[in-house]
């Protein structure tokens, strides 16, 4: 299966810190309320899929 988006390598701790500082400096860092709302919405979308994947993984371990 092909990926919809190209793979992006994770940032190191220093790179992440520098990016956060740049966003704060530019005034583009989201507020804590905005961030919390985005996390809540994504959890609503993916919670069922995550639980299903965990159940299937447990079944595979129990069967094998």
49 occurs within a structural domain: yes
The alpha carbon of 5 is separated from its chain's Cα centroid by a whole number of angstroms, namely 15
Provide the residue range defining the domain that includes 46.
Answer: 31-64
- Decide if 19 contacts 11 (C-beta within 8 A): yes
57 occurs within a structural domain: yes
CA dihedral 10, 12, 17, 21 (to 10 degrees): -60
Residue 24's pLDDT is: 92
17 occurs within a structural domain: no
pLDDT, tens only, 4-40: 666 778 889 999 999 999 999 999 999 999 999 999 9
14 occurs within a structural domain: no
Residue 11's pLDDT is: 87
Helix (H, G, I), strand (E, B) or coil at 28: coil
1 occurs within a structural domain: no
Taking the model in full, what pTM does it have?
0.48
The total number of structural domains that make up the chain: 1
Helix (H, G, I), strand (E, B) or coil at 2: coil
């Amino acid at each position: 299966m092909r990926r919809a988006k190209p793979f992006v390598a994770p940032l190191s701790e220093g790179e992440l810190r520098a990016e956060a500082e740049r966003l704060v400096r530019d005034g583009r860092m989201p507020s804590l309320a905005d961030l919390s709302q985005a996390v809540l919405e994504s959890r609503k979308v993916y919670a069922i899929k995550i639980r299903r994947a965990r159940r299937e993984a447990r079944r595979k371990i129990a069967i094998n």
